[in-house]
Structure 1
């Protein structure tokens, strides 16, 4: 079967088409014929090799050639002996630890959810990682309540644009940061206020403290140390005493001294069918729309172009690859 693999670190031309065996299933896995997948920040950092020079390197023991990709949407072709929830022919979406850029992907049963005919594979392939991260950030770790105030950093990005919608649907007052050209986009998602962090000090613009900050903004200092950088320190300044700071970028935030009783948490999304089913329901009901900025074909050149687009600052939402794109 076809797979598209990283054969050397760096940018741009490091992805090649390879022939690899179809994965052998364990008893608890499902074989999915991939129809669509997407690009997430961890994929970009691995592709460039930057993550291997960071304190996170030990969490990514990699060997080339490396098949990237976390999200998958497609059709069930085969199920393991102990799989009871899915059957061949089911349309599904979900996540794998790594390696979705190939024709067939082995996925744990609990890391998938059935998708309705009303959702395209492209919509479903864009959703899993960013929607699950936003969902768990807000409701599991942030414990967001209706009427609370929340600051969402990088509101036009993958996680951010999903979080803006979910927080607003939940009855929160939503403040988001985004570049000026994305302000209308983020407001249409439901944000009550949008601040251009490149032109104003957002910390001085927020006059009433927020209950929760969700930070998915890129910060070079944070990536290098795992500790909150300049953006992170400003985040602390706008959170009320005893509030909550959830970061998906500051992996060492628990080592930061406690500030005014603020609860801090770094996490990475943990896939599970229950959360995925809730996300699918929200998408089906039109309460959550994952914005697809661009779609590229499932070829080596298509994936290279997709990564170039993902690495550009103009991107909104998600960039995906699809077998339906020629």
Structure 2
């Protein structure tokens, strides 16, 4: 296996906001990764210009340009920060070269990966999907509830600043809701799931806010759920420092005549669990209010770091 200075060589495909922020995170914070190439399709993009200034190899010819770079032979992981539509072709080509792919689009070709929930199960997967920004923020909370009590239904609402939603985010909104809803079930552990995204046009822009609603079994232990949520929030904050609970976990008993109509379930009773979150970005490249983008790049970096540490035989 080829390594550079005892680090695993990586490249970023996509020179937009997410790809540029990720490149900067790798350069500043990575312990086991070597940032070798940044590739896009706009030769005038700020991401490619920054990469050149930072000494990173670049190409404005997309995936074909990446494969044509001299350093490509060393690259072991490629972060795809383009679009769900383009990712399928990228994945096929990169797999043919034996390159592991970390997918920051909602394409969901590979398994859904939330670092604090299920990364260890998928370290050898050829393609790892980072779900969505809303998924990275909220699915850990759904999992925190479901590991304590059965969750009949979970619904998440991700509210992000309109200014932080670039062309790629807007083009992928349908994929966002579908991918996040499936991951709420497959990774979060809820029986049914639903995801909603809100683009907030407020000025000045607001930080990413997420609300998680879970309908758990009626006799669930509230103290155990609250403790599990607090621990999970701390675990996420270990790699996304701006991730935090906005207030204490809220509980409401829905029983007797007060049943609620739940999508996929019909009239239901249970313990309603409500969690309010805020995600502040690290402002490496993007504004602090763009926590929705920061949590994606932070999760992708944490995933690649763990993969690299394992491959290189490091403890962390």
> Do they superpose with TM above 0.5?
no
Superposition TM-score, scaled by structure 2 size: 0.34
The structure that is helix-richer by fraction is 2
Q: Normalising by structure 1, report the TM-score.
A: 0.33
